[in-house]
Amino acid sequence: MAQQRTQLWAAEADIDEDIDLNLAIGTYAQNDYEEASLQQPIADATLQAMQAHLSQQNAFAQIPDAVKAFIVHFHQAVLDNNLAEITIAYESGWNKFTEKFYAKTEWPEAELIAPLVNDDPIFLILYRELYYRHVYSRLQPNIDDRFHSFENSCELFNYLLNSDGPVQLELPEQWLWDIIDEFIYQYQVFCSWRSKVKSKTEDELVMLAEGGPQVWSSYSVLNVLYSLMQKSKINEYIAAQREGKSAEEIAEIVGEYGQRPLYRQLGYFSIVGLLRVHVLLGDFTLALKVMDNIELNQKSPFTRVTACHVTTYYYVGFCYIMLRRYPDAIRTFVTILNFIMRMKQYHTRSYQYDQISKTADRMYALFAMCHALSPSRLDDNIANIAKERFGEQYAKMSKGGEDALASFEELFLYACPKFINANSPPYDDPAAIQSLLAPPTPAEASAVDGSSQLDATHRHLQLFLSDVAAQSQIPTLRSFLKLYTSLGAPKLANFLDADEEEMVQEMMVVKQASRSFSRVPGSSSPGLLDGETITTSDLNFVIAENMVHITESTVGRRYAGWFIKNTERTQKILDDLKTMPLPATRAPGQPQQQPQQQHQQQGQRESKKVGWAKTA
Amino acid sequence: MAATWIKPSTRPEPIEDLVSGVDRYNPSNVSILEDYLYHQIRSEEYDLLANLAILKLYQFNPDLYNPDVVINILIKALAASPLPDFNLCISLLDERTHPSTLDEPDPLPSTLPQLKTLQSLLFRCRFPAFWATFQSEEFENLRDNYTVEVAGFENAIRQVAIRAVKATFTHITSERLGSYLNLSGNDLTSYVKGLGWTIDSSNGTITVPPNPDNQIEATVVQEAIKLPQLSKVISHAVKA
C-alpha cells in the first residue's frame, strides 16, 4: 500500500514502469482514503518503508550503467536461448564486471535489479546463483547467506525437475558444471562450518536449531543429484550409446527429458558430483561404482569442461589410494597431470586456471606418496616434477622408517579432499549442545576440541598412516634383497639385527606389498572397481624353508624408438634437400649481367642436381 | 577376483537390487540388510558392498545405529585381509555426536581398538602374535560374545595366513606353519591334507603347490617392435 504510493511520485527513476504506473493510479484513490483514516499509527511505518525504498532507489542509481546494460543484455540472451551470447556473457562479461566493480563487495541484490529484467523469476534465480557464488568465493558468507543460497539452489532444482515437462532453457556446459560444482562446494563448506560448535553465536545457534536439519542436509543433496540422473536417464543413455543403438531408439529410451541437452549434461555432471560427494562422506567403493558407466579416457564427454575433467581424475585417483590400489592411482594421476601440462599453454584464463593449478599441485603430492609406496618405472617426466616439488618429503618417504610417517601425514593433509560429517551436531537438542560446549571432564574436553574440527579427515588420515606404517620396513628389506640371488634367512636376519621369525613375517608383507589389484589396460569391462592381481615390483623372491631365492626382472634396452625417430628425421632432411632450390649467389657490382649469368649457372647446376638425385 | 569382491555369487537378487539402486538410502530397508548380514555370519558367506550399505545407512540415520551389527561387520572384514575391507568399514563410521539412543552402554568404543589391533597384526602378517593376542584375557569379551557367533571365524583367519604363505613359500616347516595357523600335531596334518598340500613326514616340511606367486624367474622385458611403428620408414624406402 505505502509502496505503491511512493512508487508513483518517484516514477521517473524506474525504467519499465508502464504497467506498474497504471496499477498504481488505479488504486491511488483507495490508498489515499485509507491513509487519511489511519494517519497516526502508519506514519512511522510508511516513513520507514519510504526510507527503505529511497535507499533502494539510491542503491539502484549507484549501479553503474555498464552493469545495468550488461544485465539487460544477459537477460535478453537467456530469454532468446541464444547459447553463444549467453556463453560470452557468462564467461567473460560477468568476470569482467566483477573485477571492475565488485572485486571486494557483493553484486547488487536480486531484488534491486529485478525491475531491469521484468521480475523474471527464472533469470533472478540464475542471477542469485551467480551472486551467491561470488559471495562464497570472494567474501565471507554469513549464516543468512548460507541459508538463502540453499533456498535458492532448491528453487533452481525444483524449477528444473518439477515443472510440467522439461524446461526450454539452454545454458552453456561450463555454467551447468559450475552449478553442480558450486552446489556441492556450498554443501561441503556448510558441513564443516556447522561442525564447529564452539564458534557459534547465540543467534546462530537459534537459527541452526530451527532450520538446521533441513538446510544443506545430506539427503537433500543426494536427492538432487540422483533425481537429475534419473530424470535424464543418463546411465541408460550411455549404455545405449555404447551398444551403438540408433538415434530413434536412444530418444525412446531416454524420454523427453533426456533428449534435451540441458538435462543430459546436468545428468552427466551429476554423476561426477556424486563421485565427489561419496568421497567427501568416506564411501570410496560407492564413489567408484557410481562412475561405472563413464569411461576414463580423453574422448569422454566430461573432458569438454576442463574443470570437470580435472576434478574427476582427482577424486578417482584418491579413491584408488584409499583402496590401496597404488598402481591404479599412479596411472590416473599421470594421465591427468600430462594433460594439464600440455593444456597450460592454452588455458590461462584467470579463475579456472588458479583452481586447476591448485588441484594439480595436490595431485603431485598424492603421486609422490603413491610412488614411494609402490615404486615403478612409469612416467619419469611426472616423477621428476613431483620430486622437484616435494623433494624433501619424497626422499624421506622412499627411505621408509620413522621419518617417513611424518612426511606422509604432511602430504596427506595437504592433498586430501575436505572430508565432512554426514550429520550435524545436535543443535536441536540444547542439552546435548551444552554438553559439547562445556564438557564435564577435561579428558572429554580435549577429545571434543580435536575431534570437532578435523574428525573426519583425522579418521581417514589414521587409516592411511596405519597402512603406511605396516609397510615402513619394506624399502630396507628390498635394498638388501637386491644384492643377492639367494640368501639364507638367518643371515638376512643378522644383517637386519632382527629376530628371524619376525623377519620372515616381514618378508610376507613385502611379498604382499608387491602384489596389487589393478585395472588391466585393454580389459573390456568398464567398471573402475574391476581388476586383477598384478605384480608391481621388479624384485621377486620365494622362501624355500630357510633359503630366500631372489630374482629381478629388468627391462631390456629400448632402441627401437630412438632409431625409428632418427631414421624418419634423416629421411625428411633428405627429401627437403632434394626439393630445395640451390641458393642464388650474387657477386656485387655487376647487377645486370649477373642475373643472366646466374640463370645459366642455375640451369647448369640444376641439371647437375637432377643427375645427382637419380644416382641416390 | 574383483568380480566376486564386488558382487559375490552368493548374493540374492533382492539384495543386489537394493545395493545397486537408490533404495539403499531408504532407512526402512536397513533390517533387510541386517538380516542378510546375519545370514552371512551363519553360513560363512561374505558380501562387502552390502555391509558397507548398512554402515552408510547408519551414517545418515544415527538412530538406526546398532553396535552389535557394526562389530560383526568389522569381524567379517578382518578375514578379508589384505584387501582394504576393514579400512573401508572404518571410513564410514562417523563420530557419534548424538546422545546414545541405546538401552545398554555402547560396546563399540571399547572393542574398536581391539579390532584395529587385530587387523593391523593381520595386515603385517604377524600371525603368531595375532593368535596370542586373540586368545589373551583382554579379548575375552570379543571372543565370547562376538566371534563365537561368527561361523568359521578361525578358519577364515587361517585362510588369510594360507594366502600369505602360498605367495611367499615353496617349502615351509610344519612348526612355522603351525604357529601361523594356531594348529599343531594331528590337527595341523589333517588341515594341510585338507588343503591338498603334501607333507614330507621325515623332516616335517610341507610343500606349497606352485602358483603364479611363488614361481619366480628372472625376466628381461624385451621391447616388442610392432609393424605400424615401422610403416613410415618402410613406405618411404619403397617410394624412393
Q: What is the pLDDT of residues A332-356, one digit of tens each?
A: 898 888 888 888 777 666 567 788 8
Mean pLDDT of A572-599: 69
B167 vs A463: CB contact, 8 Å cut-off? no
Grouping H, G, I as helix, E, B as strand and the rest as coil, residue A324 is: coil
Nearest-angstrom CA–CA distance, A592 and A418? 80
Q: Closest partner residue to B168 among A421, A508, A552, by Cβ? A: A508
Instruction: For residue A598, give the nearest of A586, A610, A588, A607 by alpha carbon.
Output: A586
C-alpha to C-alpha distance for A16 and A35, rounded to whole angstroms: 27
Burial code of A451-472, b = ≥16 C-beta within 10 A, e = fewer?
bbeebbbebbbebbebbbbbbb
> A527: pLDDT confidence band, cut at 50, 70 and 90?
low
C-alpha cell at A402: 620413522
Res A362: pLDDT: 92
A522: exposed, middle or buried (Cβ count in 10 Å: 0-12, 13-18, 19+): exposed
Min distance A561 CA to chain B CA atoms (Å): 9
* Residues in chain A within 8 Å Cβ distance of B88: 284-285, 322-323
**Mean pLDDT for chain A overall:** 77
Asked if A459 and B93 come within 8 Å (Cβ–Cβ), the reply is yes
In B213-232, the residues whose Cβ lies within 8 Å of chain A are 213-223, 225, 229-230, 232
Whole-angstrom Cα distance, residue A108 to residue A402? 55
Q: How many CB atoms lie within 10 A of CB A533?
A: 14
- The H or E element that residue A544 is part of is strand A539-544
- Start-to-end CA span in chain A (Å): 99
Chain A CB within 8 Å of residue B113 CB: no
Beta pairing, strands A539-544 & A547-552: antiparallel
d(CA A152, CA A609) in angstroms, rounded, equals: 78
Contact B221 A554 (CB under 8 A): yes
Q: Does the global pTM surpass 0.95?
A: no
Please enumerate in sequence order all residues whose Cβ is within 8 A of that of A392, keeping only pairs 6 or more positions apart, or say none: A407
> What distances in angstroms separate CA A332 from CA A279, A365, A367, one per listed residue?
16, 13, 9
- Residue type at A87 in one-letter notation: T
User: Taken in order A179, A185, A188, A189, is the CA torsion positive or negative?
Assistant: negative
Residue A501 has what DSSP assignment? Answer: H
**Residues on chain A touching B125 (C-beta within 8 angstroms):** 505-506, 508-509, 512
Using the Cβ of B78 and the Cβ atoms of chain A, whether some distance falls under 8 Å is answered with: no
Q: φ, ψ for residue A504 (rounded to 5)?
A: -60, -40
Distance CA A477, CA A495 (A): 10
Q: Residue A379: what pLDDT?
A: 59
- List the single residue in A282, A506, A553 with the smallest CB-CB distance to B221: A553
Is pLDDT of B135 > 90?
A: no
* pLDDT at position A28: 38
pLDDT, one tens digit per residue, over B98-130 is 555 666 777 777 888 888 888 888 888 888 888
Least confident of A458-462, B26-30, B198-202: B198-202
Q: What average pLDDT does the segment A478-500 reach?
A: 83
Q: How many CA atoms lie within 13 A of A467 on its CB side?
A: 29
pLDDT higher than 60, residue A598: no
What residues of chain B, 125 to 164, have a C-beta less than 8 Å from chain A? 125-128, 164
Could you tell me the sign of the dihedral formed by the alpha carbons of A24, A30, A34, A35, in that order? positive
Report CB contact under 8 Å: B95, A456: yes
